[in-house]
Copies of this chain bind each other. A is one copy, B any other.
Amino acid sequence: MGNFKGHALPGSFFLLFGLWWSVKYPLKYSCRKNKNACYLGSRAGFQRLEFVEGIIKAVFALIGMVAEQFVPDGPHLKLYNYEEKHWDHLMNWQHATMYLFYGISGLVDIVAHGTNALPVAMDRMMLSLAVFIEGFLFCYHLHGRAMLDVHVHQLLLFAIFGAAVCIFLEVFFRGSIVLEMLRTSLCILQGSWFWQIGFVLYPPNGSPEWNQMDHTNMMFLTMCYCWHYAFAFLILAVNYTIVSCIVEA
């Protein structure tokens, strides 16, 4: 995954989910407020949505895992190279592990919202854990890389651990629109920052490389991260406005 596509792909997944949530949660909130006027969604409808979301999450995670294993220079399920006595393609295995937990989270969503066997709050806990594990693996992932490379990934960790905490709080304050918006914004931030990382570390179209050791680059990127976040809120605001207008119209 050490190339542009390897960052654009997960970035797109997160952006997709973030954008979807930036429509779903305002819709849910508006519908709750205008109980009579709303013909777009009902309680049961939203539960079915969460069910479908779970399926999509599980499928994406499966695709991700398979892709990490079977890309041409992937491990093909081989973990240890016995001839040369070293671990094989640990990076791919780590990414596959990240996807695995998103997959588990998807499965829990499916069971929690498709049947009534599981308490519904389990979906948030598993998602929170999946996000936490993503951050956890990232933390031990960056050893020995160049300064800028470490820095842009570290910035990502704020979005990841912030989201993990936010989702864990949702276990106790389920359905709080504020937490849902916060989670959505952090998800969009994560998605767009993955793209930014791709552009910074693997500039496509032969643009010149960034100087990995320049301290001002680091300062700019820190600031740029905040702009991404402001941008995430802009998207959220636009979608919120559109959804509110449609529901109330």
Given contacts A119-B29, A144-B215, A219-B94, contact A226 B136 (CB under 8 A): yes
The answer to whether A49 has its CB under 8 Å from any CB of chain B is no
Q: Which of A12-20, A35-43, A52-60, A171-179 is the contact stretch? A: A171-179
A122 CA to B29 CA, complexed, in Å: 13
Given contacts A90-B216, A104-B233, A220-B90, contact A226 B137 (CB under 8 A): yes
CB distance from A152 to the nearest CB of B (A): 12
Q: Are B133 and A94 in contact (CB under 8 A)?
A: no
Q: Is the interface of A mostly helix, strand, loop or mixed?
A: helix
Q: Are B87 and A216 in contact (CB under 8 A)?
A: yes
The answer to whether A125 has its CB under 8 Å from any CB of chain B is yes
Residue of B nearest to A158 (CB): B136
Contacting residues, chain B, for A101 (C-beta < 8 A) = 226, 230
A41 CA to B93 CA, complexed, in Å: 44
Contacting residues, chain B, for A201 (C-beta < 8 A) = none
The answer to whether A223 has its CB under 8 Å from any CB of chain B is yes
Q: Are A181 and B122 in contact (CB under 8 A)?
A: yes
CB distance from A102 to the nearest CB of B (A): 12
CB distance from A239 to the nearest CB of B (A): 13
Q: Are A219 and B133 in contact (CB under 8 A)?
A: no
Residue of B nearest to A218 (CB): B140
The answer to whether A70 has its CB under 8 Å from any CB of chain B is no
**Which residues of A are in contact with B by a Cβ distance under 8 Å?**
29, 86-87, 90, 93-94, 97, 100-101, 104, 117-119, 121-122, 124-125, 133, 136-137, 140-141, 143-144, 158, 171-173, 176-178, 181-182, 215-220, 222-223, 226-227, 229-230, 233, 240-241, 244
